[in-house]
Amino acid sequence: MRRPLVAGNWKLNGSRAANGALLRALVSGCRDDAGREIVVCPPFVYLPDAAALLGGSTIGLGAQDAAAESAGAFTGEISAAMLADVGCRYVIVGHSERRALYGECDDMVARKFAAVLAAGLVPILCVGETLEERERDQTEAVVERQLRAVLGRVAASAWQGAVVAYEPVWAIGTGRTATPQQAQAVHAFIRGQFATLDARMAGQLRILYGGSVKGANAAALFGMPDIDGGLVGGASLDAQDFILICDAASGSAT
Residues in touch with ligand 13P (CB under 6 A): 9, 95, 167, 172-173, 210-213, 231-235
Closest CB to ligand 13P among residues 199, 216: 216
Q: Is-contact 68 35, C-beta < 8 A? A: no
Q: Which is nearer to ligand 13P, 156 or 230 (CB)?
A: 230
To the nearest whole angstrom, how small is the minimum distance from the Cβ of residue 254 to ligand 13P? 22
Active-site choice (95, 97, 133, 187): 95
Report the residue number, 193 or 217, with the smaller CB distance to ligand 13P. 217
Q: Which residues sit opposite 38 in a β-bridge?
A: 6
Strands (E), 175-246: 206-210, 229-232
User: Active-site residue among 104, 129, 167, 187?
Assistant: 167
**Are the C-beta atoms of residues 162 and 125 closer than 8 Å to each other?**
yes
Residue nearest to ligand 13P (CB): 233
Q: Which is nearer to ligand 13P, 81 or 244 (CB)?
A: 244
* β strands within the chain, DSSP E: 5-9, 37-41, 60-63, 90-93, 122-127, 163-166, 206-210, 229-232
Task: Name the burial class of residue 225, with classes exposed (0-12), middle (13-18) and buried (19+) by CB atoms within 10 angstroms of its CB.
Answer: exposed
A 10 A CB-CB count for 215 gives 18
Instruction: Give me the least distance between CB of 36 and ligand 13P, in Å please.
Output: 18
Query: In angstroms, what is the minimal distance from the CB of 11 to ligand 13P?
Result: 7
Q: Least CB distance from residue 217 to ligand 13P, whole Å? A: 11
Q: What one-letter code names the amino acid at 223?
A: G
The question of whether 95 is a catalytic residue gets the answer yes
Catalytic amino acids? Answer: 95, 167
